[in-house]
Structures are given as structure tokens and as C-alpha cells.
Amino acid sequence: MFSKDIQTQVDKLLSHYPIRQNALIPILHLAQNENEGWLTEAWMQHVADICEVPLTHVEGVVTFYTMFRLKPPGKYHLQVCTCVPCCLVGGTELLEHTEKKLGIHAGHTTDDGIFSIEEMECIGACSFAPAVIVNEDYHEQVTPESMDKMIDELRK
Amino acid sequence: MAEETLVLFKNIRNPKYDKSLSAYKKSGGFKSLKKVFGMKPDEVVQEVKESGIRGRGGAGFPTGLKWSFMAKGTGKPSYLVANADESEPGTCKDRELMLKDPHMFLEGLMIGCYAIGCHHGYVYVRGEYFPSIKSLNEAVDELYADGLLGLDPMGSGFNLDITIHTGAGAYICGEESALLDSLEGKRGHPRVKPPFPAVSGFNGCPTSVNNVETLACMPFILGDNGVEDFKNFGPQNNSGTHLVSLSGHVNRPGVYELRMDVNMKDIIYEFGGGIRNGKKLKGVIPGGSSSPVMTADEVDVLYNFDDLAKKGTMMGSSAMMVFDEDTDVVKLLHRITRFYAHESCGQCTPCREGTHWSRQIIRDFLNGNGSEEKLLRLNRVGGNMMGTTLCALGDAAAMPIQSFVKKFPEEFRKYYATV
Ligand code: FES
């Protein structure tokens, strides 16, 4: 199921660990990236076979960690931190603003599939709060205005 | 104006520094590793012990001692795992190191590997840290290309590999035994101890888990006169500089590198530039969200492990969250308990149930349904989590609850039901 390039990465990962199972989480990341940001049962089965563990083990792992998703995210996944330091300087209001702007609640995706929102616990940018991760990029000291601008840019 | 003491940030604060291997070498990088390769591993552990360095991840356990606990002669490989799962709310210092000067940390990791006889070190980075992961992978590639990793670096005869491992979002994986379960490809559940990781860690082999900042101190400690200089940066038993993540209602939040004899007041008013909008200080959560809260009149104290312990709180991961007079502390505590309820791994009953109950009781208050009896109950729920769980998450959830109730009882009374 992995494309040739990614299969090379999978093989390389496996070579870094004494036991195949050890590479499970990094390989799940690769699988999720291959499948546009979420995992299906077929993908989980495939990774289970690679790591030589039962499917149920993979499902247990996938449901434990917040970064693995069982439904597709938007093309742009907005992860807004509302944990303590962010919350002190407007993170909660920023989340509410984003929800209103996109007309969806955290945990949901817009109908056109472009945006999804996730409420985050601390993402480690507390001294530069409030912080937001968009796909893989950090944005710091985000205001409702800069959020609006970013969303409008991304929509173009 | 108070100034930083630059050891870990000496390159990062240099605007011309580009974090490449050649730039790091030019700044004196890898001299310590070279020296270490000429020493016996036990001698390295001894120097680290003498430096007095205590772990920067939160617990403050002496690093040299931790390394000396590593089981020997087991016939199994030994492992060093860097804990880069930084996720205690308020803490954002390891990210700076990995992003802006990855080689200093990696040299420290390599020194640690040599000290405990580990030929394959792992860095467990939290999955959300995409930019740091990229920065580390590029740095590791540079080290292999240069021959500093792989077979026989610097002609030392000490083969060494390093793998950057990505986690997937779970606060509990910052706890060292949960981290090891996660590294093995499982759900991150804290283990029953003993056995401690030094005896049975990664895949059942002797393992030491050390924080990123702790390891990043090693090139300095093992450098010329490093042990003595390191000790002079702070009072006895609190040696070295540390990275303070300052956040909340200050004018200049940021990560500052400070000696351990700097007064908290100066951190807030000099480094942080005082409270925003000319407001007054109400309190500080001094060491990550799990540390007991301090009121404004308690902050005239040196910011280090022992002085804060004397005040009944802790420095933890050196993450100071400052809040002003307008802050509703009941709401603040609600946000903290929500965090722990979300992150409890669910293994131990007191924590799984206690974190949810406490959140619910505080929500009652916020709905105008508080009472004296509920306040007592909240405190009791906190007490029942203290020391009753496999890992420290139970304590971490209990300490804010009990301290907020004790320090700010009047604020809770505002939310009592008026019948
Ligand atoms: S609380 Fe938002 S980044 Fe730490």
C-alpha cells in the first residue's frame, strides 16, 4: 500500500529498532500521511502486518494517541491551543472566534473539506502564546485578526 | 538591567549563528566529546555527579546518580533515551534547543551514551514538534556524513547510532516508563516500579531516560573547568544555569537562561518587564501547571529547586505562568483540571476518577452552585489522588487543586449558591 518512496522510508525506520513493533508509531505517521491525514482499517491492517502485531494492538495504539485520526481532517487542519498559558492570553477566545468564522465546532470539518479545527492541550509554545499549528507549521501570538487573515489567504 | 547567563543559549543568542555542524564546531563544539572519548566512562559519570546537575525535566533528580544506577554485566545492550516529549503546560524550552542549536543537545546525548555504554541512543520527540523533528533529523544526517556518528567516530572505537523517534500526542508519555512503552510501540502506560528503567527499560534492557536540557548541559560540564564553573552558577545543590519558560500576563514573555540565584521578582519585573497593562500581580504557577500556586506576596524568593521547595512548592520544569489581578482563579483551576482529566491514562482509579470529579465539582462552582461542602469535597478528592497512583500524574493533578483552595478560598466563595 505504501508508495515506493515511502516504503524505502519504512524499511529504513525498521532498521533503526531491535524489534519491528518498536517502529509502529513512526510507521503509523507515514501511513496517515499517505492517506491524506487519517487511518482506515485497511491501513491499520497493513501496518500491523509490517510490524508483526495483531490489528487489535494497532487499534489500541491509534485510539490512545491524539495525533492519529479515524476520520479525514480538512485540507488545512487548524490546531488551536487553549491550555493554561494560551488561555491566560486569549486562546479560548481565539478558538471561539475561529469556530464562528468557519461555522464549525472544534472536532469538525467544513462542508467543502478545506478546514478542520482541533482544540489542543499545550503545544509547547507557551511563551509565544496564543499558539496555533496549521498542518505542520507553528504560528505564534495569533490574534483573531491574524487568524482571519490567515484563513482568507489559505482559502484562495 | 538584569542579564542572562549564556551557556545553553550562547549560540542561540548570537544573531549570526546558523545552527549548522560547521557553525557549531566553530563555536567550540565537539571538543568536549573528544575529551570524553579519552576518559573512562566511569570518570565521565563521576564528573557529572560532581557538577551537581539535577534533571531539568521536572523531578530534579541528580543525573550523575541516575547514570550510576545503570545495571552492568547483564549481557544486554544499554540504552540512553532523550526525553523530548516536552508537554507540561507552560514549558517550551527544549523546543528552542532542538530547533535553534540541535548539535549542542546531540553532543550532550553522545557524551551520555559514552558514559553509560550505550551504542544506540534514541530521541523521543513529541509528534507535534514538526519543526524540531526536522531540525534534529537534518542535524543527525550531518553527523553521519561527517563521521561523528556511525562506526568509530573520532577514532574512538566507540560505535554510536542515534535515532529520532516521533511520538503521537499523549502528555503521559513524558513520564519515563510510559515513554518507554510508547517507544516500544505500545499505548503509553506508566509501569509498576521497581524494576526501574536502569534495570529494565527499553525492551527490557537497562535504560536511562534524560531530559533534553539536561543533556545539552553536558558539553559545558565536560569542557575545560566545566564542573567548577557549573557549580558556581547557583547556590549549593542548585548548580548550573537553567532555561526558564516565562508566560502569562507579563510584558515580555519568553525563554530566558538564568543562574539559579535569581529572584523570582526580578524574573517577573526585570526580564518579563512587569505585568501587562499596568495591572497588579495576583499569583504565579511557578514550575509547570502541576506545581502548587503562589500568591503575589510569596514571590520574593530565589528561583531554584530548594528555595521553592522550602516555600511548599516546586520549580519543576522551570515554567513560570504569571497571572494578574483580573484573573478568575476558579476558571484558571478549571482549565488546569480539564487538562489532567484529558490526559489521565486511565490505569489507576484515583487519578482516572479523581481528575474527572474535581473538574465536575469546579464546573458546579462556575455554574453558581458552589458550597462550603463542595469546597471540602474538592479538597478531599485532591487529597485522595496524592501519592496513590503508579506515576506522578495523580500528584500533578492534586497539587494545583489543594493549593488553589488553600491560597484563594475567597474566590471560590464568590461562586457559592445563593438560596
Ligand atoms: S499552553 Fe498553549 S502552547 Fe503551551
- Please state whether B152 falls in left (phi above 0), alpha (psi between -120 and 50) or beta: left
Q: What pLDDT sits at residue B124?
A: 97
Distance CA B358, CA B56 (A): 29
Q: Is B259 helix (H, G, I), strand (E, B) or coil?
A: strand
Closest CA to B223 of B19, B26, B29: B29
In DSSP terms, which residues pair with B160 in a beta bridge? B150
Question: Cell numbers of B18, please?
Answer: 546558523
Decide if pLDDT at B1 tops 70.
no
B85 shares contact with chain A (CB less than 8 Å): no
User: Chain B residues with CB inside 8 Å of A122's CB?
Assistant: 87-91, 171, 289, 339
CATH code of A15's domain: 1.10.10
Identify whether B302 is part of a domain.
yes
Q: Is the pLDDT of residue A17 over 80?
A: yes
- Between B103 and B234, where is the model more confident? B103
Which DSSP symbol is given to B202? G
**Does any domain span residue B31?**
yes
Q: Both A80 and A150 in a single domain?
A: yes
Q: Could you tell me if the ipTM is greater than 0.90? A: yes
| Contact between chains at A126 and B171 (C-beta distance less than 8 A) | no
Contact status of A42 with chain B (Cβ, < 8 Å): no
Interface of B with A in 254-273 (CB under 8 A): 254-255
Nearest to B364 by CA among B328, B412, B305: B412
Residue B16 maps to a domain? no
Q: How confident is the model at residue B2 (pLDDT cuts 50, 70, 90)?
A: confident
CATH of the domain at A128: 3.40.30.10
Beta pairing, strands B78-84 & A137-139 = unpaired
The number of distinct structural domains making up chain A is 2
- Give the DSSP letter of residue B192: P
pLDDT digits (tens, 9 = 90+) for B335-366: 999 999 998 888 899 999 999 999 999 999 99
> Is residue A82 in a domain?
yes
A128 contacts B253? CB cut-off 8 A: yes
Clarify whether residues B366 and B218 are in a common domain. Answer: no
State whether residue A90 sits within 8 Å of chain B by CB: no
What letter would DSSP give residue B284? E
B119-140: average pLDDT = 97
| Residues B188, B292 share a domain | no
For residue B419, name the pLDDT band (cuts at 50, 70, 90).
low
Residues A150 and A91 reside in one and the same domain = yes
Question: What percent of chain B clears pLDDT 90, i.e. is strictly above it?
Answer: 92
Quick check: B307 pLDDT over 60? yes
Looking at chain A, the whole-number percentage of residues with pLDDT higher than 70 is: 100
In a domain, B343, yes or no: yes
Range of the domain at A22: 4-64
Co-location of A94 and A123 in the same domain:
yes
* pTM for the whole structure: 0.95
The predicted model gives B229-251 an average pLDDT of 96
Distance B86 CA to ligand 1 centre (A): 11
Q: Cα–Cα distances in Å, from B230 out to B46, B184, B214, B333? A: 14, 35, 12, 37
CB A123 less than 6 A from any atom of ligand 1: yes
